Structure formats: structure tokens, C-alpha cells
Amino acid sequence: MKSRDPQRQEGAGWLFVTPAIIVLGLFLIAPIGMALWVSLSDWTGRGSPISTDVNFVGTENYSALLAEPGLARQDLMISFRNTFYYVVGVVPLQTVLALSLAVLVNGRFLRGRTFFRTAFYFPSVVSSVAISLLFLFLFAGSGAINNVLAWFGVNGPNWFQDSRGLIHIFGDSIGIWSISDPPSWLTDPSVMGMSFWQWSAGPSVALSAIMMQVIWTTAGTFMLMFLAALQDLPLDVEEAAIVDGASKWQRFMNVTVPHLRPTILLVVTLGFIGTWQVFDQMYVMTQGGPAKTTLTPAYLSYQAAFTNGNWGQGAAIAFILFALIFILTTVQRWLMRDKYEWAQKKADRRLRRQQRRQHRETVNELQRKAQSS
């Protein structure tokens, strides 16, 4: 009887999802378990990680990375510092650029609208490897960028060989400190094996070039998301604002931006998740150099395992990065949560709780009645 029930499709249902379960299970879930084991072991890359020659070392790999002073911890801290500056630079700028481009090409009567949209979006569908080669050429010592800078009398740096931090350069140029002879109040105190001076370097010139590349590339994708949201903008509100005599800028800040809030949240969240994972550009362009200023956790993890054969540490870095991305996106979602939405959810929950309580009470009462009768 059960198998004839047209409402139930047990067999077909499971059959349809089986390929997905096998592939995702075998190449996603199981490997995570395996990597967790490797991160707790001393496997050197020879033979199977699940053999008797491999020893369980507990949290040794993690403590070498996070607790004990040494090269492993210093490299990880350098990669965190680099990525921090990278994220802080890229996420806001790509969001603002994407929104600006979207507003620019949103006009209904704009001539050549399709051309501009295509031009802005195209780089985000091109392979990061191809774009990286292009930017290596553009930012070369005698490349296009430095040629343009020369028009304005600026002597461009040797971008990908320059490890000086932007904050250091800025401080040097306004005379707070000298890069060649940093003050001891910054070089002496140290946190996690790195001096204040090193922590406060800012993104290096090399990293800034990569940041510009990434902003340029990804803005197109986010522009499309903003465009979709802009097209949903209710016209009557806009019209009301015009009648009220609001200026274009006022209308943008007070009507458009609040309407785009969910999209901004989405773009910033996706930006965070994407930027913390940056890997391709480092692999193709700089291999972490110069002076480790483009080292990122993702690249460090790859390097530790595949180049240096330190699989335990490589896997441990991957898990630390995973945890970090998870925590940061949760915090960021919480910080940027919509207060109104939040209040509504809370009210909803209270209502449901109330209903449940009422329901429970009714049931209890009915039971009592049933028992007493």
C-alpha cells in the first residue's frame, strides 16, 4: 500500500540525490574529516595519512601557529596583517565603485547603456589568471600605469618589488617617522611575535596593486546586483521626494541608499567572504613576496603543505581560516543587521511563544478535563 502511494516518492527521491550525495560526500565532507585528522597529526605527505606510521600529535600544529613564538606563528601573523589591510581596503572600495557604476548606467535614457554595462561587467567573467598576467604587465616598472603617472610628473614605484607599507610611506612623507630608521617606541613593543611597527605597516605597494586589480575586477558583479535592486526602486517615493524639493544627492542618500540596504549588506558579506580567501593572485603574481607582504592565509596554507611538506600545519591553517571567516561574517551580519527586521523577528517570536503557551494551556486543560471525567 505504502509503495503505491502516489504522494510518496521514496525511491525516486533518494535516487535523484544519490550522485550529489556521493560527490559532495566524497570530495567535500569526508575530506574535511580527513584534513582535520591531518591537522592533528605529523603526516609528511608520504604514503597514506591514515596509516600506522602517522602519529597523533594533538593540537601541536595549532599551538605552533597560534601560541609558540617561532617562524610558523610569525608567518601566520604576517598573513593575517596583510589580509586585514587587504580586506579593509578592498571591501569598501569595491562596494562604492560597484554602486557608483550601477547609478551611472542605470539611466533609462542613457545612450550606449548596454555597451557601458558590458564593459564594466566583462572583467568579472574573465579568468583571474588572465587578468593577473595583464596586471603584471600594466603595473610593470615601465608599464602602462607608470607611464600615465609620468604624465602628472609622478615617478611610479616598481610595484611588485616594493614591500614598503602605505602607512609607513605616508608617515614618512609627512615626517612622523623615517622608514629607514623607525622609532624605537614602535619597533620595541611586540604582539604575537611582531612589532607594532610591522603590524602598522599598512598594505605594501605590491599588495596595493593587487587590491586595485581585485577592486577593478569584482566591481562588475556587484554592479549587477545593485542594478537589479535599483530597478525595483519604487518610483512614487522618488517622485514624492522630487515634489518635496529634495536635491539629487539628498534623494540618493535618503531614498535610494535605504532602499538598497539589503543589497549593500549582501555585497559587503560576499565581499568579506571572497576577500579573506584571496589566493589566485598570490599564486600567479607574487608567491607571497616581496618580503612576505602579499602572503595570505590561503596561500600560506597551500605553501606549508604543498611546497614545504608540512601538511599538519597547512591543514591547521585552513581550519583557522575557516573559523575566522565564519566568525567575521557572523559578527559583520550582526553589526549590519536591520534593526527593524530584528525587532519584527523578536515580536514574531514572542507572538509564537505566546501562541504555543496558549496552545499548551488549552491542551493541559483538555487533559485535566478528560482525566477528571
Partner 1 sequence: MSAPTKDDGTPVTPVVNAVGENKTSRTKKFWFYGVLLFFAILYVYPFVIQLVSSFKTNPDATNNALSLLPEPVTINAWEVLFSSDYPTWFTNSIIVTLFVTVGRVFFCALAGYALARLKFRGRAALFTGLIAILAVPGIVLLIPKFLMLNYVGIYNTYPALIVPIMIDAAGIFIMKQFFESIPESVEEAARIDGASTFRTFWSVVLPMAKPALITLTILSFQGSWNELGHFIIATNDPNLYTLTRGVAGFTTGGLGAGNQYPVAMAAALLMTIPTAIVFIVFQRYFTQGANAGAEKG
Of 83, 89, 123, 300, the one binding partner 1 (CB under 8 A) is 123
| Residue with grid cell 604587465, as numbered in its chain | 137
**What is the smallest separation between the CB atom of 186 and partner 1, expressed in angstroms?**
33
Of 63, 66, 74, 116, the one binding partner 1 (CB under 8 A) is 116
Of 40, 91, 285, 300, the one binding partner 1 (CB under 8 A) is 285
Residues 299-318 that bind partner 1 (CB under 8 A): 301-302, 305-306, 311, 314-315, 318
Q: Is 343 exposed, middle or buried (0-12, 13-18, 19+ CB in 10 A)?
A: exposed
- With binding defined as CB under 8 A, does residue 161 bind partner 1? no
H/E/C letters for each residue in the chain? CHHHCCCCCHHHHHHHHHHHHHHHHHHHHHHHHHHHHHHCECCCCCCCCCCCCCCECCCHHHHHHHCCCCHHHHHHHHHHHHHHHHHHHHHHHHHHHHHHHHHHCCCCCCCCHHHHHHHHHHHHHCCHHHHHHHHHHHCCCCCHHHHHHHHCCCCCCCHHHCCCEHHHHHHHHCCCCCCCCCCHHHHCCEECCEEHHHHCCCCEHHHHHHHHHHHHHHHHHHHHHHHHHHHCCCHHHHHHHHHCCCCHHHHHHHHHHHHHHHHHHHHHHHHHHHHHCCCHHHHHHHCCCCCCCCCCHHHHHHHHHHHCCCHHHHHHHHHHHHHHHHHHHHHHHHHCCCHHHHHHHHHHHHHHHHHHHHHHHHHHHHHHHHHHC
Of 16, 84, 170, 342, the one binding partner 1 (CB under 8 A) is 16
Of 67, 96, 129, 257, the one binding partner 1 (CB under 8 A) is 129
Instruction: Give the C-alpha separation, 119 to 214, whole Å.
Output: 16
Q: Which is nearer to partner 1, 32 or 176 (CB)?
A: 32
Of 99, 210, 215, 321, the one binding partner 1 (CB under 8 A) is 321
Of 29, 154, 240, 257, the one binding partner 1 (CB under 8 A) is 29
Of 80, 85, 86, 276, the one binding partner 1 (CB under 8 A) is 276
Of 137, 170, 185, 342, the one binding partner 1 (CB under 8 A) is 137
- With binding defined as CB under 8 A, does residue 327 bind partner 1? no
- With binding defined as CB under 8 A, does residue 319 bind partner 1? yes
Site mask, partner 1, residues 200-239, x = CB under 8 A? ----------------x----x--xx--x-----------
The identity of residue 17, as a single letter, is: V
Site mask, partner 1, residues 246-275, x = CB under 8 A? -xxx----------------x--xx--x--
Of 55, 118, 161, 358, the one binding partner 1 (CB under 8 A) is 118
**What is the smallest separation between the CB atom of 56 and partner 1, expressed in angstroms?**
16
Residues 30-89 that bind partner 1 (CB under 8 A): 30-32, 34-35, 38, 48-50
- With binding defined as CB under 8 A, does residue 3 bind partner 1? no
Q: Which is nearer to partner 1, 66 or 169 (CB)?
A: 66
**What is the smallest separation between the CB atom of 305 and partner 1, expressed in angstroms?**
5
Of 130, 233, 257, 343, the one binding partner 1 (CB under 8 A) is 130
Instruction: Give the C-alpha separation, 304 to 311, whole Å.
Output: 7
- With binding defined as CB under 8 A, does residue 12 bind partner 1? yes
